[in-house]
């Protein structure tokens, strides 16, 4: 399968001009309608590894609104691999739009109660050791981080003093830290509330010499993972009208809100050059009531 990463492009934002701060967005959301943004980059080397080793089935984990699950399902369909999704929580009468999409790409869905879900090794042990390749939730791991590092391959990194990205599993931001330059500061905007281990999970995937470049920013979760109060929805709509960039309620809406707020609080100084990673995930908006968003 060919994903055209050349479709990712740099788009300047207007919001930094008043502060004499240059802000650009790397639009990785444009590379594919489903396997968009960081999902492809995190999956790419796992899939290469699975195919090279002769696996015919891919299995992974995620929640009912997981971008990773639907991207994995779509990628597996295009690679002619069987796919299995182990979903956190009890089965509902009607599947989420995300899981419906995953099923449409051929993924077999199995729900796992939240207690059993915590022990993923036990789940994996219930299935044959041959033929099935397991990808960690969110693509987390050194292989996923290696893929995430390629997000910056076509960026002229010397142009930027800061890089800003969302943190879900921590895999993408770890890869970006590893690919960054010594003079840069990498801001990771967490979408999770009260996850005390998340910063450490990022650091586990980061080369020792790069760890001091990372700043963990936990203050823009809007109440927790996938929480989307009216303030966030209003911001996303206004951001669309001003910058013509669609965002999602889980990650990128919160990232751009954080960048805007940090500008107002003068975290970024005159002359700073900021690159924001648009990590895709727009399918998460499908859970919103119709006409909630202007895009």
CB atoms within 10 A of CB 53: 8
Q: Would you say residue 137 has pLDDT above 90?
A: yes
Distance CA(247)–CA(283), nearest Å, equals 10
Instruction: Tell me which DSSP letter residue 90 carries.
Output: P
Distance CA(233)–CA(54), nearest Å, equals 45
**Averaged pLDDT, 155-180:** 97
pTM: 0.95
pLDDT of residue 2: 67
Distance CA(46)–CA(139), nearest Å, equals 8
From 10-24, 38-52, 128-142, 226-240, the region with the lowest mean pLDDT? 128-142
pLDDT of residue 130: 79
Domain ranges for the chain: 5-34+150-287, 39-139
Distance CA(149)–CA(153), nearest Å, equals 8
Domains 5-34+150-287 and 39-139 share a fold: yes
pLDDT of residue 1: 52
Q: State the chain's mean pLDDT as an integer.
A: 96
Fold type of domain 5-34+150-287: Rossmann fold (3.40.50)
The helix/strand/coil state of 84 is strand
* % residues pLDDT > 70 (the chain): 99
Backbone angles phi, psi at 278, to 5 degrees: -85, 110
pLDDT of residue 129: 75
Distance CA(187)–CA(208), nearest Å, equals 17
pLDDT, tens digit, 9 for 90 and up, residues 199-240: 999 999 999 999 999 999 999 999 998 899 999 999 999 999
pLDDT category at 154 given cuts 50, 70, 90 is very high
Instruction: Provide the CATH number for the domain formed by 39-139 in this structure.
Output: 3.40.50.1100
Joined tokens for residue 113: 């109660």
**Averaged pLDDT, 262-285:** 96
């Amino acid at each position: 399968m060919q994903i055209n990463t050349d479709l990712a492009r740099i788009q300047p934002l207007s919001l930094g001009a008043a502060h004499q701060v240059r802000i650009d967005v790397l639009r990785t959301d444009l590379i594919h309608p489903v396997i968009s943004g960081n999902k492809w980059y995190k999956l790419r080397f796992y899939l290469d590894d699975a195919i090279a080793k002769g696996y015919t089935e891919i299995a992974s984990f995620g929640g009912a609104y997981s971008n990773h699950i639907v991207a994995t399902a779509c990628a597996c369909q295009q690679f002619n691999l069987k796919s299995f999704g182990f979903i956190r929580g009890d089965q509902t009468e009607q599947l989420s739009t995300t899981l419906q999409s995953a099923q449409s790409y051929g993924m077999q869905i199995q729900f796992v109660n939240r207690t059993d879900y915590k022990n993923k090794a036990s789940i994996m042990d219930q299935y044959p050791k041959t033929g099935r390749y397991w990808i960690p939730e969110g693509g987390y791991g050194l292989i996923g981080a290696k893929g995430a590092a390629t997000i910056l391959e076509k960026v002229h990194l010397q142009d930027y003093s800061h890089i800003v990205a969302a943190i879900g599993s921590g895999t993408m931001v770890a890869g970006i830290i590893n690919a960054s330059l010594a003079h840069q500061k990498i801001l990771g905007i967490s979408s999770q509330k009260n996850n005390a281990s998340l910063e450490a999970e990022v650091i586990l995937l980061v080369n020792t010499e790069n760890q001091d470049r990372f700043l963990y920013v936990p203050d823009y979760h809007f109440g927790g993972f996938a929480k989307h109060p009216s303030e966030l929805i209003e911001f996303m709509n206004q951001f669309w009208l001003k910058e013509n960039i669609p965002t999602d309620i889980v990650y990128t809406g919160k990232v751009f809100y954080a960048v805007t707020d940090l500008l107002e609080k003068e975290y970024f100084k005159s002359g700073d050059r900021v690159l924001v990673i648009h990590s895709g995930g727009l399918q998460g908006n499908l859970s919103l009531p119709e006409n909630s968003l202007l895009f």
